[in-house]
Amino acid sequence: MSFPDIYYYDHSGDTRSLKELAPLLGENRAGYCGRMKNVNAALNSAYAFLLLRYALKKKYGISAVPEFNYNEYGKPFLKDFPDIYFSMSHCAGRVVCAVSDSPVGVDIQDHRKLNMRTAEKFLTDNELAAVSVITDTTALENELCRLWCIKESYGKMTGKGFVEGFRSFEADSLINTGNAFVTIKDDCFISLCVKEK
């Protein structure tokens, strides 16, 4: 197993419209993005897809517009290349994509105003105990965003998303075993999760 390739793009300064991007997206993805009511969400989705196209071209030499099939939980996979795994994520004008020869999940998370009530829905009892001693509001929000980002990347890697529930595993256990990695770029957390060794 080789380490996944991860790609990042900040499109916040890119002024192209969805209509201008449509020819690069292909009919299916352009239609998918075009049906979104929120323009920013549509552009984020479009740029994430374009980053996937770039990653597939750079790593595998694939220039065709990728077509997706979906697993029973809704996770997309490449219709014509089932042995190539990918994951995409976006937030606030930034997109990230990972491609690999084994299951992979990636997530990007900007700063959110999360609180302990929300945390109770996705943290284990041990994690709740650890964050409950953080008294600074900004530090608490940052730690909750970091933990959420790691857990989200794990759900994307397994292909089950929220189905298993994020309270069933601890984020830092994934870090400690080398199955997840987290960093900060442009004030966003980025987490990459890879299949267990």
Per-residue pLDDT of the chain (197 residues; tens, 9 = 90+): 578 999 999 999 999 999 999 999 999 999 999 999 999 999 999 999 999 999 999 999 999 999 999 988 888 999 999 999 999 999 989 999 999 999 999 999 998 888 888 899 899 999 999 999 999 999 999 999 999 999 999 999 988 766 677 888 899 999 999 999 999 999 999 999 998 65
CB 110 within 8 A of CB 92: yes
* 28: three-class secondary structure by DSSP: helix
Looking at residue 197, its pLDDT comes to: 52
The two tokens of residue 4 are 């996944």
Beta strands in the chain (DSSP E): 5-10, 68-70, 76-78, 85-91, 94-100, 104-109, 180-185, 188-194
Cβ 161 vs Cβ 125: under 8 Å? no
pTM surpassing 0.75? yes
The pLDDT of residue 51? 98
CA distances from 85 to 4, 35, 47, 124, 129 (A): 9, 26, 18, 29, 35
Look at the alpha carbons of 147, 155, 41, 50 in this order and tell me if their dihedral is positive or negative. Answer: positive
Close Cβ partners of 104 (under 8 Å, ≥ 6 residues apart): 4, 85, 86, 87, 98, 156, 157, 192, 193, 194, 195
CA–CA dist 174, 166 (Å, integer): 12
Task: Calculate ∠ Cα 154-45-53, nearest 5°.
Answer: 85
CA distances from 43 to 20, 48, 57, 109 (A): 11, 8, 21, 17
